[in-house]
Amino acid sequence: MTVSAPREGWVDPELAEEFPQLRLVEVTADHMGGRSTPGARRWLRRLSSRLGGPQAIALRQNPIPHAYRVFHRHVGLDPDVERTPIEAAAMDRLVHGGFRARGRLEDALLIALVETGVPVWALDDGALQGALGLRPARERERLGSGDLAPDLVRGRLVVADEHEAVAVLFGSVAGGREVTRATERLRLYSVAVDGVPAIHVEEALDLSLDALAD
């Protein structure tokens, strides 16, 4: 599997002034699609046994999940309604009795998230133009291109390439940017907030790549 070195994404200057620790880190890799591997299933089972009800409740007091909760509050999201990625995964594990294997890529992202608390997302590298970054949505901007692309409210925080918005921060991805069977290269990215050490972000990306190559 060919993997690029982790690269720092850009952050809109005004946004960076408000949130000086906000970062986006990205890496590209070959798309290894397909079903869940036995190794990933075993890994997820191990993680399931580590995270029970009490641990899920106490998650919010752990430093990294707490940092994402606080950031959710700071950007106007209620983490008890629009859950942080790690809490959403923990809730899913409690509801279903275990972390569910859903496919090679999904498993890799879930493993990285549960192991580190740092979310990693994947996009189709071929559908992106230039480096990814974070910025507020512009006037009359839409999420993706095409007639069916939904409108974005001005100021909504988005992940964007050098051309247009490709995903809402912690939210939905623009049509045509998701990873599909036709995807050849992946763009994995992670968003770090105040309170999340850089090493955890690198670790999350490394783990997701390891799990992909497993």
Partner 1 sequence: MVVLDETHQTTLRWPSGADRPVAAVAPDQRAARRSLRDQIARLEHDLGACVVAAFPGQALDVSVTRTGGPRVLGLGELETLRDDLSLRLRDARATLARRGELQQRNRVLLEKMRLDPRRYKFVRLEREDLGVPGCGAWEVRPRLGLIGMLMGWWQVKLSSGCPLRVPRAADVADRGGPREDLPVPRAADGADRGGPRETLVN
Instruction: Output the smallest distance, CB 205 to partner 1, in A.
Output: 22
Q: Is the dihedral of CA 23, 189, 96, 77 positive or negative?
A: positive
Instruction: Output the smallest distance, CB 70 to partner 1, in A.
Output: 5
Which residues of this chain interact with partner 1, rule CB under 8 A? 14-15, 17-18, 53-54, 57-58, 60-61, 66, 69-70, 73-78, 80-81, 96-97, 100, 136, 153, 155-157, 168-171
3-class DSSP string for 92-149: HHHHHCCCCCCCHHHHHHHHHHHHHCCCEEEEEHHHCCCCCEEEECCCCCECCCCCCC
SS3 at position 168 = strand
Q: Which amino acid is at 136?
A: P
Instruction: Output the smallest distance, CB 115 to partner 1, in A.
Output: 21
Which two three-digit tokens encode residue 80?
């008890």
Instruction: Output the smallest distance, CB 171 to partner 1, in A.
Output: 7
Instruction: Output the smallest distance, CB 74 to partner 1, in A.
Output: 5
Instruction: Output the smallest distance, CB 8 to partner 1, in A.
Output: 21
Cα–Cα dist 204/109, whole Å: 8
3-class DSSP string for 75-93: CCCCCCCCCCHHHHHHHHH
**Angle 16-20-22 (CA atoms, 0-180°, nearest 5)?**
80
Cα–Cα dist 122/193, whole Å: 18
